[in-house]
Amino acid sequence: MRVLGIETSCDETGIAVYDTEKGLLAHQLYSQVKLHADYGGVVPELASRDHVRKTLPLVKAALQEAGLTPKDLDGVAYTKGPGLVGALLVGSCIGRSLAFGWGLPAVGVHHMEGHLLAPMLEDDQPEFPFVALLVSGGHTQLVQVKGIGDYELLGESVDDAAGEAFDKTAKLMGLDYPGGPRLAALAEKGVSDRFTFPRPMTDRPGLNFSFSGLKTFAANTLAANDNSEQTLADIARAFEDAVVDTLLIKCRRALKQTGYKRLVIAGGVSANKHLRAELEKLMQKVNGRVFYPRTEFCTDNGAMIALAGALRLQAGEREALSVKTYPRWPMTDLEPMQVAKPAAATDGV
């Protein structure tokens, strides 16, 4: 089954073609970083308008890259939530309209399920069951995954997600948008033991997270010290260490609670080098394994939507002609499904 995937939940327009037998055939991505940089964050109306401009040209480019025409496709998948409502409407309306015009079935995909399944694009795919740590700009969640669609939420952030905390702290430090990756790069130059930040909500039982206090702690630390390059690097390092340690502690608890030996990490923050290295050490200690997608599939992309959509289309899901989007949408509302193991991305391009 060949499926066109469309991702427009926030500030990236991602288009891909995925084949359930050959893997990923094409992948196109346009980032709106430059568009929003002057505002220090995503402007929803500008994001929606840019998706209108970029989606169809990228669809044409993806089909050309794959050497296919619409007649060669078997379905269309698009992100219908969660995300910015205007951005979601653009991708959903275009995706559903293309499917109708081409006489193909369509399916709306949950954005976070796309992230969760992104490691399935790789040759080394995790087997079920596993614990998933989903860390993106808007979500930090620990999920018990027994199968595709069979999810139990173990814990989540009660305020800022880890990615939000990175971005907001970076802005306090005067770093350009997008701040999270810039803060992580600055942290590589920092000394780890100069400042000590708290590890929020680790002194109590449970698997929920809270990162907003780290932003306040960073603001107070910045106010009490000079703003030299080395000081900023040391503060960035202390902040990153606190986030990573907190995620590690919660992951360890989730693995112990479930008894699982496999951990999946996905979402934009999963590209963080320090986090990946520490999770590798953690899983070695417990004789387990950690899985994550390649860096280009950590942030929002069409490949994960095409994959998730292909699996749900295979399972018989179909979207009605009416278009519905869900800015807020618990992943636990999804239905479990039985599907074959997906092909890896490297089987194709």
**Annotated binding residue 138:** yes
226 is in an annotated binding site: no
300 is in an annotated binding site: yes
Q: How would you class 162 by CB atoms within 10 Å of its CB: exposed for 0-12, middle for 13-18, buried for 19 or more?
A: buried
Sheet of 150-156, strands arranged across:
150-156, 140-147, 130-135, 262-266, 289-291
CB 86 within 8 A of CB 289: no
Question: Is 110 among the annotated ligand-binding positions?
Answer: no
User: What is the CA angle 107-5-155, rounded to 5?
Assistant: 75
Structure token digits, residue 108: 């709306």
Numbers of helices and strands, H then E, in the chain:
10, 10
Q: Strands of 70-120 (E only): list them.
A: 75-81, 106-110
91 is in an annotated binding site: no
Q: Confirm whether residue 167 is marked as ligand binding.
A: yes
Task: Determine if residue 180 is labeled as part of a ligand binding site.
Answer: yes
Q: CB–CB of 113/331 below 8 Å?
A: yes
Residue 272 assigned ligand-binding role: yes
Amino acid, single-letter form, for residue 170: A
Q: 136 a known binding residue?
A: yes
Distances in Å between the alpha carbon of 68 and those of 19, 104, 246?
A: 12, 15, 46
**Tokens 């050490």, residue located:** 281
CA 207 – CA 142 distance, rounded (Å) = 8
Look up residue 289 and give its amino acid. R
The reply, when asked if residue 111 is annotated as ligand binding, is: yes
Element (H, E) at 265: strand 262-266
124 is in an annotated binding site: no
Q: Which helix (H) or strand (E) holds 135?
A: strand 130-135
Which residues belong to the annotated binding site?
Answer: 111, 115, 134-138, 167, 180, 272, 300
Which residues belong to the annotated binding site for Fe cation?
Answer: 111, 115, 300
Which residues belong to the annotated binding site for substrate?
Answer: 134-138, 167, 180, 272
